[in-house]
Amino acid sequence: VRFLCGALVVRAAAGGLAPASGLRDRAARCADLLSGSVMPRGGRVCLTATLLAAMAAMEMEAGAAAPPRTVVVGGGIHSVSLAYFLAKQGADVTVVERSRIAAAASGKAGGFLAREWGDSKTEQLHHRGFDMHAELAEELGFETYRRLTTLQVAPGFRPGKRRPNPASWLDGNAGASVMDTGTAQVTPAEYCEKVWAAAEAAGAKLVVGRAAGVERDEASGAVTGVRVEGEEALVTGDAYVLAAGPWTGPLAEEWFGMRLPMTGIKSTSVILGDVDAMRKEPFAAFCGRDAWGCHLELYPRPDGSLYICGCGGSDEVDNDRMREGGDCYDPDSIAADPARVAAARQSLADMSSIGRLDVPAVEQACMRPSTPDGLPVMGRVPGAPNAFVTAGHNCWGILWAPISGKAMSELILTGESSLNLSRFEPGRFGTLAVGEKRPREEMTSPSGSSAENPKRRE
């Protein structure tokens, strides 16, 4: 009993408990009564039980009140999703982003969502990601989330009167049929904006500046802080997450010496301005390859705009080109290919009179991160016990963002995830020898469609 009293007094002093809990005062009172008091055995038993209960409650409160302070490098959709789920659990979260939230692909992607388009390796991501998008849309008030039907389109085919196209705006050389009635969409920029706003409201912070490196403990390999350009002090925490899209590849190699063969698939997209037909008949459409080298994907948005990708001619960018000094180092330097914009416009004009409308257009490009096996990288960094990676989600990065953020938050907070992450281990590509750079021939990655459906693979 005297040992427990002493342990309790020390624990109460060092526990960092909230004063409002009253547990510290209750425990100290028990200790005072038990120490040196003469009382019947039954009284001592009752007080000892109270003492043990107080100690257990203090341990639970201390654990719940002090989740690991987490530093996330990168400001894309996976970073803001992770920050949101961590902040909801009371974690202190700092996001380090060199320019702004959703500065790269997360602000330029199409936002197509398909629940049943995964395979045995990714089905859990598809199902839970799709369901969580609907939940977050209701919780946070997304205006651009909606369910819609997806069509499969054969370019160059003229449909007959007996079998008209489901979408009347496909009034050119295009035959269409229903592919999936259970798909959905969200505008990724709105998702990032509102999820980050909710994370900030829960206490998350943004540090704007380039993450220039990490400091590590020589003995354990643990990260002790992130160096940020323009900041004198390190950005410190208890856990560190690298979530920088395709730039995660070169950063992981430089900071942790791990092989992370990431390819940034740079693709052009176009957004046509106000198109009335998109409001009246909002069908998503996946088109076959055509004479202009396109395989267009068409996503009508609630505001009447039409997002067009699958313009062809994607550039596969390796880690070296994404390092400092490379032509794809800066996300703001990723620009549309004028030749692919022209090809996409010609392709659309052949299939639909919409392509011949004189409407404002946004021409842009972004890079989606892809690994050689087509699977994301999610989990702990080998050799760095408090460092984590989440990246490489390829064409399904928007769909998988909510479940990936939740799964990684669970891993950081509890050491375990409700998602099976075994296929996505960051260490599956091995480590680099000291001074070694991975050869370019290893930097291959299947580009595929920006939202490839297993049902339509050749």
pLDDT digits (tens, 9 = 90+) for 225-278: 999 999 999 999 999 999 999 999 999 999 999 999 999 999 999 999 989 999
- pTM of the prediction? 0.83
Q: Greater confidence, 40 or 372? A: 372
Closest CA to 130 of 441, 450, 404: 404
Region 31-55: mean pLDDT is 57
pLDDT-derived band at 165 (thresholds 50, 70, 90) equals confident
Q: Is 250:323 a contact under the CB 8 Å cutoff?
A: yes
Q: Report the pLDDT value the prediction gives residue 360, as an integer from 0 to 100.
A: 86
186 pairs with which residues across the strands?
none
pLDDT-derived band at 34 (thresholds 50, 70, 90) equals low
Whole-angstrom CA distances from 322 to 84, 165, 244, 246, 317 are 28, 43, 11, 8, 7
pLDDT-derived band at 68 (thresholds 50, 70, 90) equals very high
Q: Is 384:222 a contact under the CB 8 Å cutoff?
A: yes
Q: Report the pLDDT value the prediction gives residue 58, as an integer from 0 to 100.
A: 55
Lowest mean pLDDT of 167-181, 348-362, 441-455, name the range. Answer: 441-455
Percent of the chain having pLDDT more than 70? 79
Region 11-27: mean pLDDT is 45
Q: Report the pLDDT value the prediction gives residue 164, as an integer from 0 to 100.
A: 79
Whole-angstrom CA distances from 239 to 52, 207, 298, 451 are 32, 16, 40, 33
